[in-house]
Amino acid sequence: MSDETNTSNVEKKSMFKFSFELNAYVGIAVCGLLWFGYSGHQENLKNSQKVNDLLVKYEKTLDAAIKNDSASLRNYQKNLEKALSDLSPQEKKILEAALRLSE
């Protein structure tokens, strides 16, 4: 009976055994995945910069168009005043702080 008990204890212990085997193929696969992830991240950064540059260009073009057209400028100022009047006092303080930072 004691042999059966020892055998069952060994079997129970082996159920919780964890082993990790790293061979060359796994190492190459991990390195490849890391490289693809890094290169994808770099490509996303480049694309984000391109989009940001386009938005800045669009913003400057829009600002120039509004500035040169008096009717559009009046409508823009009127809409801006409406938007500012809808802000809470706390939101106005945050906006004023952001404007001071951008100057």
Q: Are 65 and 72 in contact (CB under 8 A)?
A: yes
pLDDT tier at 7, thresholds 50, 70, 90: low
pLDDT tier at 27, thresholds 50, 70, 90: confident
Q: Whole-model pTM? A: 0.50
The two three-digit tokens of residue 96, written as one number: 């004023």
**Torsion over CA: 10, 11, 16, 22 (sign):** positive
Question: Which residues, at least 6 apart from 65, have a Cβ–Cβ distance to it below 8 Å?
Answer: 72
d(CA 65, CA 59): 10
Q: How large is the C-alpha radius of gyration of the chain?
A: 32
